[in-house]
Chains A and B, each alone.
Chain A
Amino acid sequence: MIPAPHLDFLPLLPELIVAGVAVALLVGGALVGRPSQTVLLLLTLAGLIAAAAASAYLWNWDGPGRVLGEMIQADRLAVVSRMILLGVGAFGALYGHHYFARTGVARMEFYPLLLLAVSGMTLLVASADLIVVFLALEILSLALYILVALSFRMASAEASMKYFLLGAFSSAFFLYGLAMAYGAAGTTKIDGIALALSGRTGSQPLALAAVGLLLIGFGFKVSVVPFHMWTPDVYQGAPTSVTAFMAAGTKVAAFTALIRVLDVSFQPLTWDWRPAVWALAAASMVLGSLLAIAQTDLKRLLGYSSIAHAGFILTGLIATDGAGIAAVTFYLVAYSVTVLGAFGTVMLASGGIRERTSFDSFRGLAGRSPMLAGLLTLFLLSLAGIPPTVGFIAKAGVFGSAIRAGFWPLALIGVLASVVGAFFYLRVIVLMYMEEPQAELEPEGAALPGAALALAAGLTLVLGVFPQIILPVLEKAAILRW
């Protein structure tokens, strides 16, 4: 008789709720036939709120640190990242409701797929074993491949195909790295690898190969140079609501998992992976900013800007102390809020199913819709990192932790890249305010996404002026116990 393992499902409750609601919506939607989109939206939001409540309860979890066969981590970093991700999911649902209703291709599959992607993301930030990391990456990626294709534009199908092929490619790298890690350490547990590697001397080719291959796998997911090729095409091709969701969600989830892998598993090899992360960060910041200058489409521009931002976040990751982790999580909050706002504004300003997102459609937007132009200006300023927005505090945080760790040349490259970045963000602002409109396009105001945008704008400003509202929470969450 094999004894039933002791199962502590409580730390997994947020994922169980989200995935459960997704399955229920899928079956219910299929049985009803053509369910009301508003009902689906409300149920989705209810599921996300319930999951958020469950994960808030886990903040004071005093049970074992790892549960379910040491596969799931029950620490505060998981709680904080989950909260961010569930918020991103709620934004995605609100945007999608508006976008798909407007383009006339509303499908009930959007909500289950979105919830499944969210459950993969939240599982990713709570995983204590590389196998669970891989499973979670696949759950979120598979759902995103379909979400990207959920529009009838050809560009959308093309983007989905590109994302799928490169995603499968990167999964292979990740799995190979996982196998190498098992070969080097004899375990796939995130903390077990660190215990096995610490105290060894001499060169460890297997462990180095493992950390390299895992970095490539994560590099594809968070789109750092040279694994960034898919990003502009996919961000441009996907429905704008999905772009907003995936741009924020995948970055938060994958970077949190990367924190665990680099700062816990391969902590004994810190001096070996730091040069690699250094090079990836520098290349992403420089190339992302330079390539963005040449863009003439706002969604592509934001895609390249997201590559540059991945570089900024990696800069913060290079300092492995608690303050560094807190700076990275703050950057992830800041980036999520800002990029959700930016893509949301683009969605409202770019018209129906055709998605006019070239610069021409944004010329003179201020004359047609001062509200949207003002919001987009705020979000672009935050992406550029100009005070008093949250982007400034976030950038100062990651550069500060890089300098504290002794990597001031990297911080210098980052500052220079930010200056280049300010140029192309400001160019869009100039387009909106100082040029005559060319295309007659009626930007629309809508209540629900409008409220979401107002919330994003409020957070961008409030967190930019009073970052201490969330900083203590993030600092408490940044203590990794293992």
Chain B
Amino acid sequence: MLGDYLPVLILGGLAFAFVVASLFASSLLRPSRPSPAKLAPYECGNEPVRLPKGEKFSVKFYVVAMMFIIFDIETIFLFPWAVSFRKLGLFGLVEMAVFIALVFVAYVYIWMQGGLEWEQAPRPMERTAAEGEQEEELLRAG
């Protein structure tokens, strides 16, 4: 029974040996002439831009990106449905209505929670000052 798996083991061993051998051989055989251009990250693209230290992206971008994906997927579903709309008939119409209604629920939720308000969105929960302090202390304490 276990003998059946021997070829798998041998193949795994061969793959590993091949990787080690070819890396070793290429380190022996290749010429090594480094230059600043060659050592730069992404030889064929831009230098990556770092954010200044301590700078963070606002979480609002994330909410907007998620909203985009929701509607993106909705559109992707709508296209094939629209193409065969007549063939699917009433059944397809009802199914699509249910789907759009559920997507709409997410939209209403984000809207009502202030996810679309860009400037100084009110916190989803209003807490008293004491609660806020307690929370901050907890965050600091970990």
> A105 vs B138: C-alpha distance in the bound complex, in angstroms?
13
Whether the pair B131, A2 counts as a contact (CB closer than 8 A) is no
> A203 vs B75: C-alpha distance in the bound complex, in angstroms?
45
Whether the pair B131, A104 counts as a contact (CB closer than 8 A) is yes
> A107 vs B113: C-alpha distance in the bound complex, in angstroms?
12
CB < 8 Å: which of A4, A27, A152, A155 contacts B135?
A: A152
- Quick check: is B53 within 8 A (CB to CB) of the other chain? no
CB-CB < 8 A to B90: which residues of A?
4
- Quick check: is B4 within 8 A (CB to CB) of the other chain? yes
Q: In the complex, which residues 104-130 of chain A have their Cβ closer than 8 Å to any Cβ of chain B?
A: 104-105, 107
Q: In the complex, which residues 99-122 of chain B have their Cβ closer than 8 Å to any Cβ of chain A?
A: 102, 105, 108-109, 111-113
CB-CB < 8 A to B131: which residues of A?
104-105
- Quick check: is A447 within 8 A (CB to CB) of the other chain? no
Whether the pair B88, A31 counts as a contact (CB closer than 8 A) is no
With A30-B113, A31-B112, A152-B138 in contact, do A2 and B87 touch (Cβ < 8 Å)? Answer: yes
Whether the pair B108, A27 counts as a contact (CB closer than 8 A) is yes
Whether the pair B112, A1 counts as a contact (CB closer than 8 A) is no
CB-CB < 8 A to A200: which residues of B?
none
Quick one: closest A residue to B101, CB to CB?
A: A23
- Quick check: is A154 within 8 A (CB to CB) of the other chain? yes
CB-CB < 8 A to B113: which residues of A?
30
Quick one: closest A residue to B126, CB to CB?
A: A34
CB distance from B119 to the nearest CB of A (A): 20
CB-CB < 8 A to A105: which residues of B?
125, 131, 135
With A4-B91, A104-B127 in contact, do A31 and B139 touch (Cβ < 8 Å)? Answer: no
CB-CB < 8 A to B4: which residues of A?
203
- Quick check: is A461 within 8 A (CB to CB) of the other chain? no
CB distance from A279 to the nearest CB of B (A): 14
CB distance from A101 to the nearest CB of B (A): 12
Q: In the complex, which residues 17-43 of chain A have their Cβ closer than 8 Å to any Cβ of chain B?
A: 23, 26-27, 30-31, 33-34
CB-CB < 8 A to B89: which residues of A?
1-2, 4
> A353 vs B112: C-alpha distance in the bound complex, in angstroms?
28
CB distance from B1 to the nearest CB of A (A): 9
Contact code string A30-66 (vs B, CB < 8 Å = 1, else 0) = 1101100000000000000000000000000000000
> A31 vs B125: C-alpha distance in the bound complex, in angstroms?
14
Whether the pair B108, A155 counts as a contact (CB closer than 8 A) is no
CB < 8 Å: which of B87, B111, B125, B139 contacts A107?
A: B125
- Quick check: is B142 within 8 A (CB to CB) of the other chain? yes
CB-CB < 8 A to A153: which residues of B?
138
Quick one: closest B residue to A30, CB to CB?
A: B112
CB-CB < 8 A to B142: which residues of A?
154-155
- Quick check: is A481 within 8 A (CB to CB) of the other chain? no
Whether the pair B87, A354 counts as a contact (CB closer than 8 A) is no
CB < 8 Å: which of B102, B108, B127, B138 contacts A31?
A: B108
Quick one: closest B residue to A354, CB to CB?
A: B138
> A153 vs B135: C-alpha distance in the bound complex, in angstroms?
8
CB-CB < 8 A to A107: which residues of B?
124-125
Give the total of A residues in contact with B, Cβ under 8 Å.
21
In terms of DSSP, what is the predominant structure of the interface of chain B?
A: helix
- Quick check: is B134 within 8 A (CB to CB) of the other chain? yes
CB-CB < 8 A to B127: which residues of A?
104
> A354 vs B134: C-alpha distance in the bound complex, in angstroms?
10
Whether the pair B108, A30 counts as a contact (CB closer than 8 A) is yes
> A105 vs B135: C-alpha distance in the bound complex, in angstroms?
9
CB distance from A313 to the nearest CB of B (A): 27
Whether the pair A23, B105 counts as a contact (CB closer than 8 A) is yes
CB < 8 Å: which of B87, B111, B124 contacts A1?
A: B87
CB-CB < 8 A to B135: which residues of A?
105, 152
CB-CB < 8 A to A30: which residues of B?
108-109, 111-113
CB distance from B30 to the nearest CB of A (A): 36
Quick one: closest A residue to B124, CB to CB?
A: A107
Quick one: closest B residue to A203, CB to CB?
A: B4
> A104 vs B134: C-alpha distance in the bound complex, in angstroms?
10
CB-CB < 8 A to B125: which residues of A?
34, 105, 107
Whether the pair B109, A353 counts as a contact (CB closer than 8 A) is no
With A30-B109, A203-B4 in contact, do A2 and B139 touch (Cβ < 8 Å)? Answer: no
CB distance from B35 to the nearest CB of A (A): 39
CB-CB < 8 A to B109: which residues of A?
26-27, 30
CB-CB < 8 A to A1: which residues of B?
87, 89
CB-CB < 8 A to A26: which residues of B?
105, 109
CB distance from B125 to the nearest CB of A (A): 6
Quick one: closest B residue to A272, CB to CB?
A: B1
Quick one: closest A residue to B111, CB to CB?
A: A30
CB-CB < 8 A to B91: which residues of A?
4-5
CB-CB < 8 A to B105: which residues of A?
23, 26-27
B contact residues vs A (CB 8 Å cutoff): 4, 84, 87-91, 102, 105, 108-109, 111-113, 124-127, 131, 134-135, 138-139, 142
List 19 A-B residue pairs with CB atoms under 8 Å apart, sorted by A's residue number.
A1-B87, A1-B89, A2-B88, A4-B89, A4-B90, A27-B105, A27-B108, A30-B109, A30-B112, A30-B113, A33-B112, A34-B126, A105-B131, A107-B125, A152-B139, A154-B139, A154-B142, A155-B142, A353-B134
Question: Known pairs A4-B89, A154-B139. 20 more at Cβ < 8 A?
Answer: A2-B84, A2-B87, A2-B88, A5-B91, A26-B105, A26-B109, A30-B108, A30-B109, A33-B112, A34-B125, A34-B126, A104-B127, A104-B131, A105-B125, A105-B131, A107-B125, A152-B138, A152-B139, A155-B142, A353-B138
A contact residues vs B (CB 8 Å cutoff): 1-2, 4-5, 23, 26-27, 30-31, 33-34, 104-105, 107, 152-155, 203, 353-354
The 10 closest A-B pairs by CB, nearest first: A4-B91, A30-B112, A154-B142, A30-B109, A152-B135, A104-B131, A2-B87, A203-B4, A27-B105, A23-B105
